Each structure stands twice: as structure tokens, then as C-alpha cells.
Amino acid sequence: MVDHWIEGVDISVYQGSVDQPTWERLYQQGQRVAVIGSWHGLSSNPHAEGNLARAEAAGLTIATYIALNRLPGRVAVENGKIACGRMWPKLAFVAIDCEID
């Protein structure tokens, strides 16, 4: 039984580059975790590293998700790691998003 929830946001490549004031507002509104998509199956999120850095600067715990589909899992994870750049060692967790038929 869960007695409380930790609020968080899921940011994919489609949200683009989220600016610092937005991250700060999200934190003020109670968001505490930012899970940023770094690899979306066949392409990386060019905004992943910047969004992770700004989310962390605003006080959020940061994590990433990596979508698997057509490429081998090892390749997808390596590409996600590259997209996270210098923020990779700071991640609380890496979630694998399996999108395989």
C-alpha cells in the first residue's frame, strides 16, 4: 500500500527545450522528479542534457527513459547515455520503455 505519492513530470523530445523559469515553476507547484526521454527508439532527444541540467538546478531529482524498439537494447542504452551527456552520472534511475510488438 502506498501512503503517499511523489509528483513528477515526463518530458519527451516533443516538449523541446524547457526553460529554467518553467522548471522552477514546476518545482514550486510540487513536482519533485523529472524523467526526461533521452532515446526515442530511432533518434536521440537533442534537448535531454539541457533539460536534465535545468531540472536538477531547480531542485528536481532527475532520471531518463530509453525507448527500445528496432535497435538492440545495448545500442539504445548507449545512445541514451550519449544524449544525457554530463548528466548521466547524476541520474537517480534509467527506465527502459519497451515499445516492441
CA 75 to chain centre: 18
pTM of this prediction? 0.92
Contact (CB, 8 A) for 65 and 35: yes
How many whole angstroms separate alpha carbon 10 and alpha carbon 37?
8
- Residues 6 or more apart whose CB falls under 8 angstroms from that of 6 comprise 32, 33
pLDDT tens-digit map of 7-53: 999 999 999 999 999 999 999 999 999 999 999 988 999 999 999 99
- Rounded to the nearest integer, the mean pLDDT of the chain is 94
Structural element, H or E, at residue 76: helix 73-84
- Residues 6 or more apart whose CB falls under 8 angstroms from that of 59 comprise 27, 32
Q: Would the pLDDT of 95 be above 80? A: yes
